[in-house]
Amino acid sequence: MVRARSIALSLVALLVLSLLPFAGRAAAVSTTIVISQLYGGGGNSAAPFSNDYVELFNRSNALVDLTGWSLQYASATGTGNFGSATNLITPLSGSLSPGQYLLVQEASGGATGAPLPGPFLTDATPINMSATGGKVALVNTATPLGCNGGSTPCTPAALATIVDLIGYDGANFFEGAGPAPTLSNTTAAFRAGSGCTDTDSNAADFIAGAPAPRTLLTPVFICGSDAAPSVAAVSPASGAAGVAVDANVTVTFSEPVNVATGWFSISCAASGGHSATQSGGPMSFTLDPDANFASGEQCTVTLFATSVSDQDTNDPPDNMAANFSWSFTTVTPSVPIHDIQGAAHVSPKNGQTVSNVQGIVTAKRSNGFYMQDPNPDSDPATSEGIFVFTSSSPTTVSVGDAVTVSGKVQEFRPGGASSGNLTTTELSGPTIAVVSRGNPLPPPIVVGTGGRVPPSTVIEDDASGDVETSGTFDPASDGLDFWESLEGMLVQLNDAIAVGPTNAFGETPVVGDGGANASLRTARGGLLLRPNDGNPERIVADDSIVAMPKLNVGDGYSGPLVGVIDYNFGNFFLEVTSTTSRIDRGQQRETTAAPRLAQLAIATFNVQ
């Protein structure tokens, strides 16, 4: 509450006010409604709730009509005035009974956090409060105050309309000797005594704790009576899933409490009991377990009523009414990409839902993105890359992002079941979390000299019928298996040379190393298709991700071809990710003399 003796101003403001009669004085116009909780980190990083909020409380014994009142905001030390724009003032309405709380939802700083519990009052132009420091005034009119208490002092008339005021962190306008504590994305300011305490000192009346908004549905608390301390908020939340194995546990009580040794227990299904280092208090406590939880286990925290007592002298009650317990589940183990791909054409996890698949985004397409595990296993037969099917442009990720993805493993067959095409393994219906940005990409696998040399004659020699369901997966000998083992991975072809012209779709058949590891070449630079040689070393360089030059047979590129391995239209594709230009090797059209009488002209061409 604002009283004549209790508004503290900055030194500069005091000097200004000394020149203005009564400018620093504010009459107490109400002993009823107070700001009982304030939170400005809604939606920000690590925020537990998606919106800022102000909580009001009726500490009187009479019904109070809030119609025509307002909440007005100003920055901690800036020159802007309270309520000077529509997004700095929230009109209030309705009535508040004795002991009732009213939650006022304000702006959101992002998509992080859970929705606020209802019901709450909303504002079409909500206030975007600072998470750390600012000033909020509860005013008994909807007229902007026209001051900020600092660079623009409030007139006696304006001060007379302020019902309650909170300045937090380094604010230059507050009640009493100092502002309320500095807040954060994970802490709110709480008025002590469940909202009843009002000594006209922000520093004395407020403490910081984990946000725990109360609403009209919260049990009524009548000031002057005492209620047993209770748990107002916990983190991880009850029923939460995907909790980090190294997570801390936080508990916020309804009022300042004393805790005795052994006031909590943490018990988990797999890792057993956990001791923890305690910090914080007297209202919000953090428990840092001395050992990590196990992955995919349920843990239960119990608070013992006999070991938690309030700090006030209005007793009984003194202790919590009953023990309090809640449970959460830790994150399921990460499934590596190589376990999803397996040493096979079809994933051993096809149709299963997998969680927390980790990788670096290596390339983006119009309907998804490729990612690759930067920590490969030792088996060259299992690919470390995979395509994440998002169905539309993946705007939430960028190349170089470290991500975790949960989704369903599926095999996509281009052209459908009757096409005869092989499938590609992908994750569908993904839930994507960006862990970090700007990471270096995994180094590409060199295909050819100095790396993995593809088979040069055999496409598949040990399958009986369907290559996806029979035969031995043998990347060292079979071309289909070789390229499958690199599906979705970044690869590099050095000195790639065109063995066919670029077609109308921007696709160019190439081999690496200038053709040194290719089988029989034609005189003009192509590959000769023979009964025992399907040319498995050949791959199609595609321009779906970056623009590519058009090449003729024998032409090359100005640098290595780097891209990800995909499959389409009966061929493995190199989806090139780095631009390069054409090196024209001067291939000219063959010509011959026009046939004379009694002569026959014959032409041949490679049917690949």
Residue 271 and residue 355 in one domain: no
Q: Which one is predicted more confidently, 22 or 38? A: 38
Residues 275 and 190 in one domain: no
Do 490 and 421 sit in the same domain of this protein?
A: no
In a domain, 273, yes or no: yes
CATH of the domain at 256: 2.60.40.1220
225 assigned to some structural domain = no
**Is the separation of the CB atoms in 151 and 80 below 8 Å?**
no
Q: Are 251 and 324 in contact, with CB atoms under 8 Å apart?
A: no
The more confidently predicted of residues 223 and 289 is 289
196 belongs to a structural domain: yes
* DSSP per-residue letters across 176-231: TTSPBPP-BTTBEEEETGGGT---S-HHHHEEEES-----TTSPP--BTB-----E
Do 47 and 117 have their domain in common?
yes
Q: Are residues 453 and 590 in the same domain?
A: yes
Element at 369 (helix H, strand E): strand 368-372
- Complete edge-to-edge strand list for the sheet that includes strand 298-303: 272-274, 264-268, 298-303, 324-329
Tell me what the mean pLDDT of segment 506-532 comes to: 90
Domain boundary among 329, 349, 373: 329
Mean pLDDT (the chain, rounded): 90
| pLDDT over 90 at 372, yes or no | yes
pLDDT value at 8 more than 50:
no
Q: What is the pTM of this model?
A: 0.55
Please indicate, yes or no, whether residues 169 and 315 belong to a single structural domain of this protein. no
Number of domains the chain contains: 4
Is residue 4 scored above 90 in pLDDT? no
- Residue 400: CB atoms within 10 Å: 14
pLDDT of residue 412: 95
Q: pLDDT-based confidence at 173, cuts 50/70/90?
A: very high
Q: Compute the average pLDDT of residues 515-528.
A: 87
Q: Is residue 453 part of a domain?
A: yes
The domain spanning residue 385 has which CATH number?
Answer: 2.40.50.140
Largest CA distance in the chain: 123
Specify if 63 maps to a domain. Answer: yes
Answer yes or no: is 226 within a domain. Answer: no
- Would you state the torsion angle of the CA atoms of residues 152, 154, 158, 163, taken in this order, to the nearest 10 degrees? 120
Q: Which residues contact 502 (CB under 8 A, 6 or more apart)?
A: 508, 548, 549, 550, 551, 552
Residue 462: pLDDT band with limits 50, 70, 90: confident
The per-residue pLDDT for 232 is 86
Please check whether residue 227 is in contact with residue 213, taking contact to mean a CB–CB distance below 8 angstroms. Answer: no
**What's the rounded Cα separation, in Å, for the pair 368 and 362?**
11
The tokens describing 129, both together, are 């409060």
User: Which CATH number goes with the domain that contains 201?
Assistant: 2.60.40.1260
Lowest mean pLDDT among 371-375, 448-452, 515-519, 573-577: 515-519
Residues 564 and 534 reside in one and the same domain: yes
Q: Within this chain, do residues 317 and 168 fall inside the same structural domain, yes or no?
A: no
d(Cα 221, Cα 265) in Å, to the nearest integer? 29
Position 540 pLDDT exceeds 90: yes
Our measurement of the distance from residue 476's CA atom to the centroid of its chain's CA atoms, rounded to an integer in Å, reads 40
Q: Is 569 inside a domain boundary?
A: yes
**Spacing of C-alpha 118 from chain mean position:** 25
Decide if 42 contacts 48 (C-beta within 8 A): no
Looking at residues 374-394, what average pLDDT do you find?
96
pLDDT one-digit tens code per residue, 196-208: 989 899 998 998 8
Same domain assignment for residues 603 and 473:
yes
Q: What is the pLDDT of residues 139-162, one digit of tens each?
A: 999 999 999 999 999 999 999 999
Q: Which pLDDT value is given to residue 11?
A: 28
Would you state the pLDDT for residue 468? 85
Percent of the chain with pLDDT over 70: 94
Are 88 and 199 part of one and the same domain? Answer: yes
Q: Which residue has the higher pLDDT, 598 or 65?
A: 65
What would the mean pLDDT of 397-420 be, rounded to a whole number?
92
Write down the pLDDT at residue 605.
67
Task: Examine the domain organization and report whether 260 and 297 are in the same domain.
Answer: yes
* DSSP single-letter state for residue 480: H
Domain boundary among 436, 460, 489: 436
pLDDT recorded at residue 513: 95
Q: What is the pLDDT of residues 341-366, one digit of tens each?
A: 999 999 999 999 898 899 999 999 99
Structural domain containing residue 418 = 337-436
Stronger pLDDT, 472 or 41, i.e. the higher one: 41
Q: Residue 272: CB partners within 8 Å, gap ≥ 6? A: none
In a domain, 2, yes or no: no
Based on the fold, state whether residues 424 and 470 are members of the same structural domain. Answer: no
Q: Mean of the pLDDT values across residues 522-541?
A: 89
pLDDT at 355: 87
pLDDT band at 30 (very low <50, low <70, confident <90, very high): low
Model confidence at 303: pLDDT above 50: yes
pLDDT at 548 over 80: yes
CA within 13 Å, CB half, 446 = 8
Residue 24 has pLDDT above 70, yes or no: no
Strand-pair category, 445-446 with 385-389: unpaired
- Tell which of 374, 409, 436 closes a domain: 436
Return the sign of the alpha-carbon dihedral for residues 171, 175, 176, 180. Answer: negative
Q: What's the rounded mean pLDDT across residues 60-87?
A: 96
